[in-house]
Amino acid sequence: MMERKWEIIELGKLVKILDKFRRPVTKKDRAKGSYPYYGATGIQDYVDSYIFDGRYLLVGEDGAKWMSGDKSAFIIEGKSWVNNHAHVLKVGNSLIDKYLEFFLIHKDLSEYITGAIIPKLTQQSLKSIPIPVPPLPVQARIVDELDCLQGILSKKRQQLAEYHSLAQAIFHQMFGDPVVNEKGWEMKRLGEITNNLDSKRKPITKKDRKEGIYPYYGASGITDYVEGFIFDGNYLLVSEDGANLLTRTAPIAFLALGKIWINNHVHVMQCDNIASHTYIQYHLNQITLKKYISGSAQPKLNQEKLNSIPIPFPPLPLQQSFANRIAVINNQCESLNKSIHEMETLLATRMDKLLNMDC
């Protein structure tokens, strides 16, 4: 717990900043190798040489996020190359580098960021950040507790990732590669096996939404909870617009069940007894849809293109068998997600208790 007698010292007096040794290398000029090439948010590439050799704390200078909880700082160790988008800090003897890493991640650094078009944490601003400096044994205890909580959280997240991998493996085992249709299933267009309900969608601007208990769905899933609903049933939703259609950093197809509200950024489909929602969801999330998407600045998958997507169509009982197996995994994931949320809350609470200089 923070005590008033702990000295508050500006960061620049606690670390040595080695930014002058950084060197950016454009992608076309990088020679592939085994040494990590770091930027503002972590490893960007691997190169054939290094300019740093040791343990350092990197802090994003630009191209990062600096709100509380964002990974604005991270420790690196060994031989590496660092470009000019991350500050390079060598922590002095009065601080444990892991303690400083936790502090910078927990602290909202937005007040130190300049630039509207290209936000930046300048070296001068970085140096001015006030750091509470408890005795080293206290720092060590703080690090031990937060490391322990973070380790538990990491294991839970890894377990969740393994469940997702298991689900993908079951799909491939039962249906083969979704791209090449190696098992020779009959092919159908998506519009042949689903009913489109887009005409019933209704967007509500944020200022006009009344808070409630019913999920409000958009292109990336649930975005809010509102007091009313316009759908009540079992649905397959597919993103209509949004950058994720091209980047595929998250699923574009997801299931929705019960009383819900859906806006006009996501397609609404029902299969009735024609096909399994779960089977189609997994298929769509594993194939590339680039040729069906229009617009690069504002990618869009319109209804006509969506309906034209070819889908390998195994026998319905096999699809339903897959859905039953996935339901068991989803139940495990739901419990795990709840546990992860609780652990995230606990970690945030303990970080606030241990690292907040105002408590």
**DSSP string of 306-353?**
HHH-EEEE--HHHHHHHHHHHHHHHHHHHHHHHHHHHHHHHHHHHHHH
172-198: string of b/e by CB count within 10 Å (b at 16+)?
A: eeebbebeebeeebeebebbebbeebe
Q: Is the pLDDT of residue 4 over 80?
A: no
Edge-to-edge strands, sheet with 32-39: 15-17, 86-91, 52-60, 73-82, 32-39, 42-47
Question: pLDDT tier at 2 (50, 70, 90 boundaries)?
Answer: very low
Confidence of residue 310 (pLDDT cuts 50, 70, 90): very high
Tens digits of per-residue pLDDT, 5-60?
Answer: 788 999 999 999 999 999 999 999 999 999 999 999 999 999 999 999 999 999 99
* Across 283-297, average pLDDT: 89
Mean pLDDT estimate for the chain = 92
Q: Could you report the per-residue pLDDT of 204-242, keeping only the tens digit for each? A: 999 999 999 999 999 989 999 999 999 999 999 999 998
User: How many residues are listed for the chain in this entry?
Assistant: 359
Q: What is the mean pLDDT of residues 280-309?
A: 91
281, 167 in Cβ contact below 8 A?
no
Q: What is the mean pLDDT of residues 68-73?
A: 89
pLDDT at 116: 78
pLDDT band at residue 295, thresholds of 50, 70 and 90? confident
Which pTM value belongs to this model? 0.79
Number of neighbours of residue 273 by Cβ within 10 angstroms: 7
The answer to whether 146 touches 350, Cβ cutoff 8 Å, is: yes
pLDDT at 208: 94
User: Which residues does 224 contact at the CB level (< 8 Å), separation at least 6?
Assistant: 206, 209, 216
Task: Report pLDDT for 262.
Answer: 96
Confidence band, pLDDT 50/70/90 cuts, at residue 356? confident
Outline where DSSP puts E strands in 144-265: 186-189, 195-196, 211-218, 221-226, 231-239, 253-262
Q: The tokens of 135 are what?
A: 């005795």
pLDDT of amino acid 359: 37
Above 90 in pLDDT, residue 81?
A: yes
Which pLDDT score, from 0 to 100, does residue 68 have? 87
Tell me which residue of 260, 221, 238 sits closest to 309, measured CA to CA.
238
pLDDT of residue 179: 87
Q: What angle do CA 230, 235, 240 make, to 5 degrees?
A: 85
Beta strands per DSSP E along the chain:
7-10, 15-17, 32-39, 42-47, 52-60, 73-82, 86-91, 130-133, 186-189, 195-196, 211-218, 221-226, 231-239, 253-262, 266-270, 310-313
User: Please, which residues have CB within 8 angstroms of residue 322's CB and are 6 or more apart in sequence?
Assistant: 170, 171, 174, 175, 276, 278, 279, 282
Helices H, strands E: what count in the chain?
Answer: 8, 16
Query: Would you say residue 125 has pLDDT above 90?
Result: yes
* pLDDT at 3 > cutoff 50: no
Distance from C-alpha of 9 to C-alpha of 128, rounded to nearest angstrom: 9
